Amino acid sequence: MELKKSPAFTPHLEDELRESLKRCSPETVEAVLGFRQYGNFDGIPVIVLGIIERFLEPDVRHLLREGNDDTRLFEDLGVDSLLMVEIIILVEETLDISIANDELRDIRSVGDIKTYLDYKVKGIPIPKQNKRLTVEEIASVMPHQDPFLFIRESKISLNEAESIYTITGGEFFLEGHFKNNPVFPASILIEALGQLAVLYLIRNEKPEFEQPIDTSKVMFASCDGVRCHRVCRPGDILDLKVKLKRIRYPLVTFEGTITVGDEKAVFAEDITLAFDYES
Amino acid sequence: MRKVVVTGLGFVTSIGNDKATVIDSLCHLKHGIELFPPFQKDNIPVKLAAPIKEFNTESIDSEDWTSPSQYKLRMDTLRGLSPHGLYAYCAMVQAIQDAGLSEDEISNPKTGLFTASSGSVFMTYNHLNRMFKVGVLRTSPQGIISSIVGTLNFNLVAAFKIKGASCGFASACSSSGHALGYAHDEIALGRHDRMFVVGGEDGNFLNILPFAGMRVLTLSLDPDRASRPFDKNRDGFVGTGGAVVMVLEEESIARKRKADIYAEFKGWGQASDGYHVALSHPEGNGLIQSMQRALESVKLGPKDIDYINAHAPSTLAGDLSEMRALKNVFSQNNCKPAISSTKALTGHALSLASIMEASFSVLAIKENFTPGSAHIETLDPEAKGLNIINKTQEGSPKHVMSNSSGFGGANVSLIFSDPNL
């Protein structure tokens, strides 16, 4: 694609940008100039990471360079709310955008920032992060119902969903699985991850899903690379998590994990659902 | 009442950035005054200042600042500081090391921190400029905390994890005297075991030059003779900045941890002139009252004081009223303590002045000297009857009084004594 130079980009503006970014890496400065001159979005991650890095203490910079989107701003990088504002001001100045206070509230990780700015500069509405759903809300939107609903209070973020389920011992199938030895079936553990993926699918705000999902048309398609590490029994609290891997209409693929306390219980490399939009 | 002792000092001053250099300057009357580069412009008649050496805080961006290599500041500490905040941080590091305090002794509910500074006009000015230029929502979030009065306590309390009382004092040139006095009382009354007292001033272009509007800055071009308190031909003060930290502790706690004790901080007095917003009372009425109250509070008479570190900034009116007050309290009672103004060497450090001079006074007690009053060529006739010493003398004073007077006629007199009496 040939990029057209913006008429608003003047030598004076370039000087100002270089001065503002004087403590950032040369790649960051070039990415900013590319964005401001030609509207080149590809440099946004470099710009954002470069600006954050410039404000970090030298001893934590390597965490940012390792490139993990899960790196937490406050806990891992020591970015407090005042420093966050400094970062935002420099981002605003260099990308020529304005960021409202309430848009920042849900930003917790490096990945959150990258996603947020990607949407922001492209003018796409910012999805609400970390949406929490109660059991009642879940029951009202899910096709699954008790006694075959295996997710409880859930949190839906932009690219993942989390939930918990406590094995009560009263589940009807435990009577026969196994005789005098209640073990939560591995197939139902996978079912629970599948249900969480369904919940994500129908309640996320990711703009890549073009229209509302028709809940009656969501079906399990495949599951690959499943490993069970631990037997789950009554009393165990299951921490369920699904992470979006890719969307290829009409299929959507997640990675799933279940942990009990600190112990890994289940890992599923691919859980794929088939879906369709409301017609 | 519990006894209060001084166990640590830290200095970033125009006459030295460590204790040894400061002592050398006081003993050999080496001043810190020079032709100040930012003043060398045709439209600025004031040419002299006593800047801080070995630091560079000229940039409006604190990340450009430099300090001697032994000080390691984290970026998150540096970001909220004004120039005098940086000086104070370094003076804190020195004072903590000097007092030999552990982390637990610094950070606990019985250790507090009182400060005195006029805030940073420099930071205020630059941040407001930025606000007008780029808009309200793009001004630095550190703008306020690095600028306003109180900037020293916010920053130092956070940087050193202070858990006791923290507060700033503002009475212009008496500010750090008030901070010391009230810190003394916190320990004497048993509320705290240990207090850091910190004074600081930027001492830069924006901090000093506005005093030219009051016509109180000397227009002298000669650094070696410009600041001359008690001289008949004195014509105004030389501005300076920096930071000084004093560690105060309850005596038995200090002795138990085998701290090296400089002096006992016996007590203090204060009084106001009730006369004029800026001028001191011509007869020094408020200062007389403050000196008498200090003496009463420590149960000493004028004859017991053997050295007075005067406020005397080298202004016409200020020095005059202090000389009259000193004669009233001491000469009229046939007492002739040695008197000097160390502002001849340092320049006038405004909010920082009182604690800087109090620190010189406790150094004198500990290090066996009595600082002289430099640069006097023609003694003001008004000083007749006062024992103004123009050379530093050998021998420690037993009881020292350190005076300070601020705008509005706010006077503070502090008394320090030999701890082994």
Q: Domains of chain A by range and CATH?
A: 11-122 (1.10.1200.10), 131-274 (3.10.129.10)
List, for residues A137-181, the tens digit of each pLDDT value: 999 999 999 999 999 999 998 889 999 999 999 999 999 999 999
Query: Distances from the Cα of A184 to the Cαs of A146, A167, B247, B328, in angstroms?
Result: 16, 8, 65, 95
With a CB-CB cutoff of 8 Å, which residues 121-140 of chain A face chain B?
Answer: none
Q: How far is B63 from chain A (nearest CA, A)?
A: 9
Q: Is residue B212 part of a domain?
A: yes
Same domain, B27 and B103: yes
Q: Is residue B261 part of a domain?
A: no
- Rg of chain A over Cα atoms, rounded to whole angstroms, equals 23
Residue B180 has pLDDT above 70, yes or no: yes
Peptide linkage before A147 cis (omega within 30 of 0): yes
Residue B396 has pLDDT above 50, yes or no: yes
* Of the partner residues A57, A92, A93, the one whose CB lies closest to the CB of residue B75: A57
Task: Enumerate helices (H) and strands (E) in chain B, giving the number of each.
Answer: 14, 15
Q: Give the number of beta-carbon pairs within 8 Å between A and B.
A: 25
| Alpha-carbon gap, residue B414 to B295, rounded angstroms | 9
- Using the Cβ of A89 and the Cβ atoms of chain B, whether some distance falls under 8 Å is answered with yes
What domain count does chain B have? Answer: 2
- Pick from A126-130, B36-40, B260-264: least confident: A126-130
Task: Enumerate helices (H) and strands (E) in chain A, giving the number of each.
Answer: 10, 7
What does the pLDDT read at residue B239?
98
Same domain, B123 and B213: yes
Q: How far is A67 from chain B (nearest CA, A)?
A: 22
Residues spanned by the domain of B367: 266-417
Q: Nearest CA to B360 among B402, B318, B298, B315?
A: B402
| Alpha-carbon gap, residue A191 to B405, rounded angstroms | 80
Strand partners, B249: B5, B194
What does the pLDDT read at residue B33?
98
- Pick from A152-161, B196-205, B359-368: least confident: A152-161
Judge contact between A199 and A133, C-beta under 8 A.
yes
Same domain, B54 and B197: yes
**Chain B residues in contact with A57 (beta carbon < 8 A):** 74-76
Same domain, B183 and B219: yes
What does the pLDDT read at residue A3?
61
Between A48 and B175, residue with greater pLDDT: B175
Query: Which positions in chain B have a beta carbon within 8 angstroms of at least one beta carbon in chain A?
Result: 63, 74-76, 79, 134, 137-138, 140-142
- Using the Cβ of A220 and the Cβ atoms of chain B, whether some distance falls under 8 Å is answered with no
Same domain, B215 and B282: no
Q: Nearest CA to A23 among A103, A112, A86?
A: A86
Q: B138–A89: do the CB atoms touch at under 8 Å?
A: yes
| Alpha-carbon gap, residue B47 to B221, rounded angstroms | 6
Q: Nearest CA to B393 among B27, B9, B20, B97?
A: B27
B183: number of Cβ within 10 Å: 29
- Pick from A86-90, B82-86, B395-399: least confident: A86-90
List, for residues B109-161, the tens digit of each pLDDT value: 999 999 999 999 999 999 999 999 988 888 888 999 999 999 999 999 999 99
Greatest mean pLDDT range, A84-98, A136-150, B18-32: B18-32
* Of the partner residues B74, B137, B141, the one whose CB lies closest to the CB of residue A86: B141
Same domain, B95 and B186: yes
Arithmetic mean of pLDDT over chain A: 90
| Alpha-carbon gap, residue A34 to B145, rounded angstroms | 35
List, for residues B315-346, the tens digit of each pLDDT value: 999 999 999 999 999 999 999 999 999 999 99
| Alpha-carbon gap, residue B324 to A186, rounded angstroms | 96
Residue A214 has pLDDT above 80, yes or no: yes
- Rg of chain B over Cα atoms, rounded to whole angstroms, equals 20
**Chain B residues in contact with A55 (beta carbon < 8 A):** 75
Q: B75–A86: do the CB atoms touch at under 8 Å?
A: no
Confidence grade of residue A262 (pLDDT, cut at 50, 70, 90): very high
Query: Distances from the Cα of B164 to the Cαs of A45, B109, B392, in angstroms?
Result: 44, 4, 39
Q: Residue B231: what are its φ and ψ, rounded to 5°?
A: -80, 140
Strand partners, B274: none
Residue of A85, A98, A101, A103 for testing the chain B interface, max B β-carbons within 10 Å:
A85
Q: Nearest CA to A129 among A45, A211, A44, A204?
A: A204
- Using the Cβ of A83 and the Cβ atoms of chain B, whether some distance falls under 8 Å is answered with yes
The string over A254-266, giving b where at least 16 C-beta atoms fall within 10 Å of a residue's C-beta and e elsewhere, is: bbbbbbbeeeebb
Residue B223 has pLDDT above 60, yes or no: yes
Same domain, B112 and B245: yes
Pairing status of strand A251-260 against strand A237-248: antiparallel
B68: number of Cβ within 10 Å: 12
Q: Which residue of B lies nearest to A19 if distances are taken between CA atoms?
A: B61
Judge contact between B198 and B154, C-beta under 8 A.
no
With a CB-CB cutoff of 8 Å, which residues 238-257 of chain A face chain B?
Answer: none
Q: A57–B76: do the CB atoms touch at under 8 Å?
A: yes
Residue of B131, B138, B154 for testing the chain A interface, max A β-carbons within 10 Å:
B138
What are B405's two structure tokens? Answer: 């007077």
What does the pLDDT read at residue A1?
46
| Alpha-carbon gap, residue B273 to B412, rounded angstroms | 11
Residue A4 has pLDDT above 80, yes or no: no
- Last residue in a domain, options B223, B238, B256: B256
- Last residue in a domain, options B207, B236, B256: B256
What are B164's two structure tokens? Answer: 């006791």
Taking residues B227-252, what's their average pLDDT? 98
**Chain A residues in contact with B140 (beta carbon < 8 A):** 86, 89
Same domain, B39 and B114: yes
What does the pLDDT read at residue A2?
55
Judged by DSSP in three states, A271 sits in strand
What does the pLDDT read at residue A113?
82
- Using the Cβ of A98 and the Cβ atoms of chain B, whether some distance falls under 8 Å is answered with yes
Q: Which residue of B lies nearest to A91 if distances are taken between CA atoms?
A: B138
Residue A105 has pLDDT above 80, yes or no: no
**Chain A residues in contact with B77 (beta carbon < 8 A):** none
To the nearest 10 degrees (0 to 180), the angle between helices B353-367 and B175-188 is 60
Taking residues A239-264, what's their average pLDDT? 95
Judge contact between B364 and B337, C-beta under 8 A.
no
Q: A80–B76: do the CB atoms touch at under 8 Å?
A: yes
What does the pLDDT read at residue B231?
98
| Alpha-carbon gap, residue A41 to A45, rounded angstroms | 9
Complex ipTM value: 0.77
Taking residues B19-23, what's their average pLDDT? 98
Confidence grade of residue A66 (pLDDT, cut at 50, 70, 90): confident
- Last residue in a domain, options B228, B256, B284: B256
List, for residues B63-106, the tens digit of each pLDDT value: 999 999 999 999 989 999 999 999 999 999 999 999 999 999 99
Strand partners, A277: A213
What are A134's two structure tokens? Answer: 């109660």
**Chain A residues in contact with B137 (beta carbon < 8 A):** 89, 98
The residue written with tokens 């009672």 in the block is B333
Same domain, B63 and B182: yes
What does the pLDDT read at residue A132?
87
- Pick from A120-129, A211-220, A258-267, B297-306: least confident: A120-129
- Using the Cβ of A85 and the Cβ atoms of chain B, whether some distance falls under 8 Å is answered with yes
List, for residues B182-192, the tens digit of each pLDDT value: 999 999 999 99
Q: Which residue of A lies nearest to B139 if distances are taken between CA atoms?
A: A89
**Chain A residues in contact with B81 (beta carbon < 8 A):** none
Residue A87 has pLDDT above 80, yes or no: yes
Same domain, B21 and B99: yes
- Pick from A5-19, B25-39, B380-394: least confident: A5-19
Q: Which residue of B lies nearest to A94 if distances are taken between CA atoms?
A: B138
Active-site residues of B: which are they? 173, 311, 348
Angle B413-B414-B415 (CA atoms, 0-180°, nearest 5)? 125
Residues 6+ apart with CB under 8 A from B416: B6, B263, B264, B265, B266, B358, B361, B362, B365, B399, B400, B402
Judge contact between A71 and A110, C-beta under 8 A.
yes
What does the pLDDT read at residue A205?
81
Q: Active site residue: A12, A62, A144, A177, which one?
A: A177
| Alpha-carbon gap, residue B106 to B87, rounded angstroms | 19
Residue of A79, A82, A98 for testing the chain B interface, max B β-carbons within 10 Å:
A82
Terminal alpha carbon distance of chain A: 34
Q: A93–B138: do the CB atoms touch at under 8 Å?
A: yes
Same domain, B151 and B286: no
Q: How far is B143 from chain A (nearest CA, A)?
A: 11
Residue B306 has pLDDT above 80, yes or no: yes
- Pick from A63-67, A98-102, B227-231, B286-290: least confident: A98-102
Q: Which residue of A lies nearest to B79 if distances are taken between CA atoms?
A: A83
**Chain B residues in contact with A83 (beta carbon < 8 A):** 76, 79
The residue written with tokens 């309850």 in the block is B250
Domain of residue B92, CATH code: 3.40.47.10
Residue B271 has pLDDT above 90, yes or no: yes
Taking residues B290-303, what's their average pLDDT? 98
Same domain, B215 and B355: no
| Alpha-carbon gap, residue B296 to B289, rounded angstroms | 10
**Chain A residues in contact with B134 (beta carbon < 8 A):** 93
Residue B119 φ/ψ region, left for φ over 0, alpha for ψ in the -120 to 50 degree band, beta for the rest: left
- The conformation of residue A2, written as its DSSP 8-state character, comes to P
